Structure 1
Amino acid sequence: MTRAEKMVLAIAVLASFVAFLDGTVVNVALPAIVDELGGGIATQQWTVDAYLITLGSLILVAGSLSDAYGRIRILRIGLVLFAVASVAIAAAPDPLFLIVARGVQGVAGALLVPSSLALITSTFDGKARGRAIGIWTGLTSVAMILGPLIGGVFVDLLSWRLAFLINVVPIAITLVLLARLGQQDQTRPGVRIDYLGAVLCTLGLGGPVFALIEQGTLGWAHPAIVLSMGLGVLAFAGFLVRQRFAANPILPLGMFAERNFWAGNLATAFIYGALGLTGLVVGVFLQEGAGLTATLAGLAALPSTILLILFSSRVGGLSARFGARVFMTAGPIIAGLGTLLYLFVRPEPDFDYWWQALPAVLVSGAGLTLTVSPLTSTILGAIEHTRAGTASAVNNAVARVAGLVLTAMVGIIVGGELDLAGFQRAIVVTAALLIAGGVVSFLGIRDERKPEPAEV
């Protein structure tokens, strides 16, 4: 790589790292947040979903902003806003303030991830792009180690509040690298931002999520539940209609005419919905059911993350050489079968990490290592690089919305309480979603055929 390419990759990794780090910190901190601020499982769900609602809905606008005003400019704004929101979360006096601040943090996160990936896809081509995305996948996965680990240490020894300030260092480093990059920002002239579409999308996601979370307290027949679900569905339908006829849609439905784009995003919905569900229930159950400290619960998934770090780049290169379909098929199925091994987990005092949890961590981690880099490369490679920001935003929105919906459904899936029976139900649902992602990839993904060399 040239010096400029290395700097672009470092910026993309660090900017995405910030968003991913916060996502892993929060799962470990949830029990401590509820102990101090109250609110039970609803507070835990909203702490996760407030971030995902704004991230999932506004990430589409962010993709357009990235294409219209430049990836570098949007990255800078996102980094500063993320830092401000993190400080607000650390100072939260009650659940409502915390949830609102998490929503603002989601807005900032929406500006970071698509711009980061778009910066990569506009800088690298061909096999170099697949390798760069593999490196991005592996290095951003470090957040999956540092988030739970540092978050757990902060929760156990200091405070969950300080855990939300650990992203200040990568934010500062990224801003310095952006200043030193010296690269001219790329824009797409004539792009207009569909703010009405963004509002409809946010309402369309927020209404049903409110209903799914609060139905456990209010009941399905409560007017607030019926109204929020009904208005949310109508708003989301209006959003889709708006995208069909808008001159500059934030969700260009025409992109889904590309087979690998729609099939890859459908697989993404199953896979990342599963990851959102299992990340929440495993992190909480290991503390509340198995009796682990926050630090040990954060360390539990360490072997899986090490696999991602060590082999994501290699898998990215292999998928560029042999085709992504086999990896996108086998990976989620292996991950799903590995997740079923969590069914052997037992509450304290019978919990044994080495025999009950570690096999699930290793096998599911191996499956995800085979999946993530080929999945991202295939989806972004299906769309021309001039629309990389929008394509990346759509894929990230699909992933976050899938996690959002499954997190909102946690109360329904576990039966209102995360006891052993509820945990096992969530594990079965997770495994089914992952296997479905593999089946979709097998049926939908088509590897690009390389042209045969001309005969001499």
Structure 2
Amino acid sequence: MTGLSLLIPITLSTMAIVLLAPILPGLLNEFSGIPAHEYWVPMILTVPALCVAIFSPVAGMLGDWFGRRRLLIWALVAYAVVGIAPVFLTDLTAIIISRIGVGVAEALIMVLTTTMIGDYFKGAARDKWLAGQTAFASMSALLFFNIGGQLGRFGWRAPFWVYGCALVMLALVLIFTWEPSGVDADEEADHAPHHGAWAGFPWSRMAGIIAITIYGSVLFYTVQIQAGRGIALLGVSDPGQIGFLTSVASIGVPIGTFIYSRIGRARVAYLLLGEFAFLTVGFLLMGRAGSTTPFLIGCFINQLGAGVLLPTLLVWAMDGLPFDIRARAAGLWTGAFSIGQFLCPVVVTLASSRAGGLMGAFSLLSGAALLGAIGALVGSLRKGQALDAGQKVALHG
């Protein structure tokens, strides 16, 4: 249950946007009298992700200094409190401020749960639980979208009550986890670790991983954010059908995560080569599609590659890190992945303007994914380079 108690909170990262997406029209209508409401209201959904991108490195520093479990407990409490707050708030500014609080708490939760998985588990077990985060996050997105839509029938405030589920996750953390000591994962630390020195931090290694993570994150989120628009352009107008078709294509992510559990011990360069190749083919089919069926096939292929890509990058970033810098490394990686999420709509908009529309943007992004595959191919041909997942065995012992 220890691994599961750290896996479930990762679903809170998808809740911030997906749960509220169905009630966005209601929110826009509620605050329609406010100047520039069409700009400010969507920030209720998007500002947490921006906060995660900015605050995750700080969350990692705090985790290495004050300890993981203590901060995680308070972060879950804060998430529940500020998450439910809009139920009782009437001012848009106050609601957005509460959403900033959600983003800060979410950054702590994502970084600390990932770090604690790295603390508690070793080798293949660690890789399994880290990869499981991807599957849980993607499957929870399907669940929260439907919950948000059903509760939205009772008014725009109702879905915010779901944030109270963080208290259930808090109970699991209290029962099944302990403060890792860094000496023995099975022993509980009796004081804060106070690790804050950056000397010896693997900056050169992490810089490359972070750059690839941002690049991959933009491609990862493109289908999740833009597939609905693509389906609508192909003639599907019913929102329910669009949501259903998008969710069907997104099943490729957890399937990809399962595939990773079988092939994840291969060299990272080989994995990246295959993953970017799947993204390339998927985007190309999407961009050339003339009807929904080939478009959805392209989405599914793309999401298969994305489902393997995310755990590859996460495990690669966390692999072989000593206890005293692990939280900071997790914070930097989480921030990088969230930056990619934030940049994704910007990149798609620029690609659309250059390629003559969204479908053209998908074709253009297939070229970007192909560049990633070529880079991975070059890396796989280099001897003794860092993209070798086989080093994990030696690092894990």
Q: Same fold (TM over 0.5)?
A: yes
Does the 8 A contact of 1:304 with 1:361 survive in 2?
Answer: yes
SS class of match (2:172): helix
Does the 8 A contact of 1:278 with 1:426 survive in 2?
Answer: no
Distance in 2, Cα, partners of 1:424 & 1:296: 20
Distance 1:33 1:356, change over 3 A: farther
Q: Look up the match of 1:423.
A: 358
Q: Give the alignment's TM-score, normalised by structure 2.
A: 0.80
C-alpha deviation, 1:83, in angstroms: 1.5
Distance 1:11 1:43, change over 3 A: same
SS class of match (1:165): helix
Distance in 1, Cα, partners of 2:107 & 2:235: 34
Q: Which is worse superposed, 44-53 or 136-145?
A: 44-53
Distance 1:305 1:390, change over 3 A: same
Distance in 2, Cα, partners of 1:433 & 1:45: 28
C-alpha deviation, 1:109, in angstroms: 0.6
1:151-170 superposed matches below 5 A:
151-155=148-152, 157-169=153-165
Q: Look up the match of 1:4.
A: none
Q: Look up the match of 1:25.
A: 19
Distance in 2, Cα, partners of 1:97 & 1:402: 27
Distance 1:60 1:23, change over 3 A: same
Distance 1:87 1:434, change over 3 A: farther
- Picking from 74, 78, 101, the partner of 1:77 is 74
Distance 1:48 1:122, change over 3 A: same
Distance 1:448 1:287, change over 3 A: closer
Q: Which is worse superposed, 173-182 or 273-282?
A: 273-282
Q: Which runs of 4+ in 1 moved over 6 A?
A: none
Distance in 2, Cα, partners of 1:35 & 1:421: 32
Does the 8 A contact of 1:87 with 1:165 survive in 2?
Answer: yes
Distance in 2, Cα, partners of 1:286 & 1:92: 36
Q: Which is worse superposed, 12-21 or 158-167?
A: 158-167
CA deviation vs aligned residue, 1:159-212 (integer Å, no higher than 9, x gap): 44433433423x1221111221252444763335xxxxxxxxxxxxxxxxxxxx
1:280 aligned onto 2:275: no
1:125 aligned onto 2:119: no
C-alpha deviation, 1:110, in angstroms: 0.7
1:3-152 superposed matches below 5 A:
7-38=1-32, 39=36, 42-43=39-40, 46-91=43-88, 93=90, 95-152=92-149
Q: Give the alignment's TM-score, normalised by structure 1.
A: 0.71
- Picking from 373, 388, 395, the partner of 1:447 is 388
Q: Look up the match of 1:343.
A: 287
C-alpha deviation, 1:365, in angstroms: 1.6
CA deviation vs aligned residue, 1:56-97 (integer Å, no higher than 9, x gap): 111111111112222211211211221222223445546544
Letter in 1 for 2:18: T
RMSD: 3.5
Distance in 2, Cα, partners of 1:289 & 1:95: 36
Distance 1:182 1:428, change over 3 A: closer
Letter in 1 for 2:119: S
Give 5+ residue unaligned stretches, structure 1.
1-6, 193-247, 347-351
Q: Look up the match of 1:309.
A: 254
% identity of equivalent residues: 16
Distance in 2, Cα, partners of 1:98 & 1:340: 40
- Picking from 298, 321, 331, the partner of 1:360 is 298
Distance in 2, Cα, partners of 1:57 & 1:119: 21
Distance 1:391 1:331, change over 3 A: same
Does the 8 A contact of 2:255 with 2:304 survive in 1?
Answer: no
Distance 1:41 1:182, change over 3 A: closer
Does the 8 A contact of 1:256 with 1:262 survive in 2?
Answer: yes
Q: Look up the match of 1:183.
A: 178
C-alpha deviation, 1:408, in angstroms: 5.0
- Picking from 276, 282, 297, the partner of 1:332 is 276
Distance 1:440 1:49, change over 3 A: farther
Q: Which is worse superposed, 271-280 or 113-122?
A: 271-280
Distance 1:253 1:408, change over 3 A: farther
Q: Which is worse superposed, 273-282 or 358-367?
A: 273-282
SS class of match (2:162): coil
Distance in 1, Cα, partners of 2:80 & 2:26: 22
Distance in 2, Cα, partners of 1:85 & 1:438: 42
Distance in 1, Cα, partners of 2:17 & 2:369: 20
Q: Look up the match of 2:337.
A: 399
Distance 1:31 1:279, change over 3 A: farther
1:151-300 superposed matches below 5 A:
151-155=148-152, 157-169=153-165, 171-181=166-176, 183-186=178-181, 189-192=193-196, 248=197, 254-258=201-205, 261-283=206-228, 292-300=237-245
CA deviation vs aligned residue, 1:15-63 (integer Å, no higher than 9, x gap): 1111223233344544443344345763466344422221111111111
Q: Look up the match of 2:328.
A: 390
C-alpha deviation, 1:327, in angstroms: 1.8
Distance 1:410 1:448, change over 3 A: closer
